[in-house]
Amino acid sequence: MTIISGKARLAGVFGWPASHSRSPRLHGYWLRQHGIDGAYVPLEVRPEDFAAAVRALVTMGFRGANVTLPHKETAFAVCDMVDGSARRAGAVNTLVFRDGQIHGSNTDGFGFLESVREQALGWQAADGPAVLLGAGGAARAIAAALLDAGCPLLTIVNRNRERAEMLARQIGGPVAVADAPPLEGAALLVNSTSLGMAGQPPLEIDLALLPPRAVVVDAVYVPLETSLLAAARARGLRGVDGLGMLLHQARPGFEQWFGVAPGVDRGLREFVAADLPRRT
């Protein structure tokens, strides 16, 4: 049994809903692993109450919080200060409360890059062109991270082309927009949409044109092995699941709230994965 004191450090995750979040399980693992006097709790808050709820946590002495759907863009507006990662992503997923002020950052891009480097050893953003499916909040953070890491050309493909073009303009750099994924010669394919997620329509895409050394990433982690990843592995391509991004994006916030730099190891991955369906 974990027992906390009156001096416990407190953090949590905002969402609507928040019950599906694996972040409490993830942070709870680290808190127990490091013997920290603290707690990380789900914070299920309606969108119209979000700003007031954040300020209430500051008053209550919380160290900060993560932010998930649908609050990431609202969180940007609530912050007193945001860093470059949040500005590039146009959204905030990590809040740190310091001296009565709300500091915001976006660690999704960091988590994405760390996950790909971990699961596809030797991969570098500069290896070749990348294709990104989707133009939502996750896509924005991933796009910024890839370009900042040296991706020579990023092509965004989205059902709503206008939204993809808007993202391309806002992100800037070597970015193109296409109606169909230009897979021939691509070094990286990333799905940042909800297609393939449990309860959602499948992602239908033919991977035949991808080069043998290409890496296929699915930001979806429910199920852990999506049909996209299964198809990639069947062709001998390197596949990267969405769980790694979830685990790594949590590291910076945990360190700032609880004073310990946590690691992502096999034990953590297995513990969090045990709560996920393996396949649809």
The residues carrying an active-site annotation are 72
| Closest to 241 in 3D by CA, of 131, 88, 233 | 233
Helix (H, G, I), strand (E, B) or coil at 77: helix
Sheet holding 188-191, edge to edge: 175-178, 154-157, 130-133, 188-191, 215-218, 238-240
Alpha helices in 149-217 (DSSP H): 161-171
Residue 278, phi then psi, degrees to nearest 5: -70, -40
CA distance 102 to 96: 6
Q: Which residue has the tokens 């393939």?
A: 196
Distance CA 157, CA 55 (A): 38
Name the maximum alpha-carbon separation found in the chain: 59
Beta bridge partners of 97: 102
Q: Does the bond joining 17 to the residue before it have cis omega, within 30 degrees of 0?
A: yes
Alpha-carbon torsion (175, 180, 184, 186), positive or negative: positive
Which pair of structure tokens corresponds to residue 227? 């049909």
